[in-house]
Amino acid sequence: LTARVLDGKAIASSILETVHVRVAALRRRGVVPGLAFVVVGSSEPTELYVARLTKLGKRVEIDVLVRALPADTTVEQLEQEVSTINADASVDGIVIQMPLPEGLAVARLSSVLDARKDVDGITIESAGRLYQGLPTHAPSTALAMVRILASSGIEVRGKHAVIVGRSNVVGHPLAELLMRADATTTITHSKSGDLSGYTRQADILALAVGRPALIKGEMIKPGAVVLDAGINVTPEGVVGDSDFEGCVALASAITPVPGGVGPVTNAVLLSSVVESASQRPD
Ligand code: NDP
């Protein structure tokens, strides 16, 4: 058995096509969807990411604005900046680039960032809405992993989904989304102990850890679906949290790294911007 390799680039392209069609319809009504990035300090991965999204934005005709703030920005200044962008009617989505420098408490952004514009679902309000099953923007990576399953025709209902990683941006919201899609979910983390005891039970194994090749082939159940959000820069290049060669031989389907969850995450983010633009108050 060799797993079906789930082509994130193809799934992303198809999402972006739909996004583009929706943008065109909005533009005909005079609504130009806008996405703003707030970047505090600078780092190469952030610059690459923002440049990538700016390019994708152009492709689907979403305006992308980047507000670069110095690394020594205070919480008050950040809140003020977000508040100003939030008040800008031409902006439908605001992404505050993570990680923020230490000391800039994200939680306080809930009071200055509208849930409609919180397209990456980082505020307490968005998280609360997600956990109460109310309409909201879920964090893009978690949403992307669910979108990959849906577009690949992989049934979630009744399956046991095991998630490795419990962060607020990926693992935890993913567990919520999978549970709402009627999976039985288990969340594991660095203190779980016998990790393979859990991963071997997974029909769907979702990885959001940040440890290269942590999950070996012998740690998965034959026929499992492996979703790998990990992005690990190694001397051999960018790799995921799964040992791809080991897992591809046993899984029924697997996302590669790169070219799996990453491109779909970008497309899903732009999709959330269009969704927000379509809800712009008159
Ligand atoms: P975090 O560092 O916030 O969380 C990592 C999680 O993995 C934690 O819950 C941690 O446990 C757990 N963990 C760490 N080591 C182990 C271990 N040995 N066994 C089991 N669990 C472990 O990372 P993120 O959630 O932000 O990101 C995870 C990965 O996903 C990273 O590689 C990141 O680059 C990537 N990523 C990819 C995106 C994409 O678009 N494709 C977007 C965002 C992230 P504990 O809580 O106990 O510390």
- Are residues 118 and 94 in contact, defined by beta-carbon separation less than 8 angstroms? yes
Residue 107 clears pLDDT 80, i.e. is over it = no
Which residue matches tokens 């290049």?
237
* Position in ligand 1 atom list of the atom nearest CA 240: 32
* Position in ligand 1 atom list of the atom nearest CA 260: 41
Is there an atom of ligand 1 within 6 Å of 261 CB?
A: yes
Q: What is the mean pLDDT of residues 70-79?
A: 93
Is there an atom of ligand 1 within 6 Å of 168 CB?
A: no
Report the alpha-carbon distance of residue 115 to residue 109 in Å, rounded. Answer: 10
* Position in ligand 1 atom list of the atom nearest CA 214: 18
Model pLDDT, residue 101: 85
| pLDDT (tens digit per residue) in 145-175 | 999 999 999 999 999 999 999 999 999 999 9
Residue nearest atom 37 of ligand 1, based on CA coordinates:
229
Confidence class for position 87, pLDDT limits 50, 70, 90? very high
CB burial of residue 106 (10 Å; 0-12, 13-18, 19+)? middle
Residue 158 CA neighbour count, 13 Å, CB half: 2
Model pLDDT, residue 241: 98
pTM here is 0.97
Is there an atom of ligand 1 within 6 Å of 20 CB?
A: no
| pLDDT (tens digit per residue) in 192-216 | 999 999 999 999 999 999 999 999 9
Report the alpha-carbon distance of residue 177 to residue 268 in Å, rounded. Answer: 14
What is the CB neighbour count within 10 angstroms for residue 203?
A: 19
Residue 82 clears pLDDT 70, i.e. is over it = yes
Model pLDDT, residue 282: 81
Kindly give the distance from the C-alpha atom of residue 167 to the centroid of ligand 1, in angstroms, as a whole number.
6
Is there an atom of ligand 1 within 6 Å of 220 CB?
A: no
Confidence class for position 69, pLDDT limits 50, 70, 90? very high
Residue 236 clears pLDDT 90, i.e. is over it = yes
